[in-house]
Amino acid sequence: MDTHANLFHIGDQDFEDKVTKSDVPVIVDFWASWCGPCRAIAPVFERLSDEYQGKLKFAKMDIDQHPNTSSHLGIQAIPTLMVVGDGEARVGRAGPDPTGVESEIDRVLVENGIAVA
């Protein structure tokens, strides 16, 4: 993964501090290294992390290395993208199709009073 200032990796031990308690919404990509569709959406996720910098944080969680959080949240398929704002999951989207992700992100930001333009 290239370096992106607004993209970070998280684990079970820091999910609550970096995601649930974040002062801005966070979109989490639940993924695994063996998952082809996860690798396919990674460039889109990375690009969006640059575009939404300052409005939304982007995190990646490897479900094989950190299974507790994904199990607790009921993640049953990967990739799953989940937007967490105000301590609760706002949007969850499973599957490899990255289309529509940007419009869902915009909707969540508007609902949280954050300008998208």
Choosing from 26, 27, 35, 56, the catalytic residue is 35
Choosing from 27, 38, 48, 78, the catalytic residue is 38
How far apart CA 68 and CA 64 sit, in angstroms, is 9
Q: Give the 3-state secondary structure of residue 94.
A: strand
Between the CA of residue 50 and those of 55, 76, 97, 112, what are the distances in Å? 10, 28, 20, 20
Task: Determine how many CB atoms are found less than 10 A away from the CB of residue 48.
Answer: 22
Q: Is 34 a catalytic residue?
A: no
Q: Is 111 a catalytic residue?
A: no
Residues labelled catalytic: 35, 38
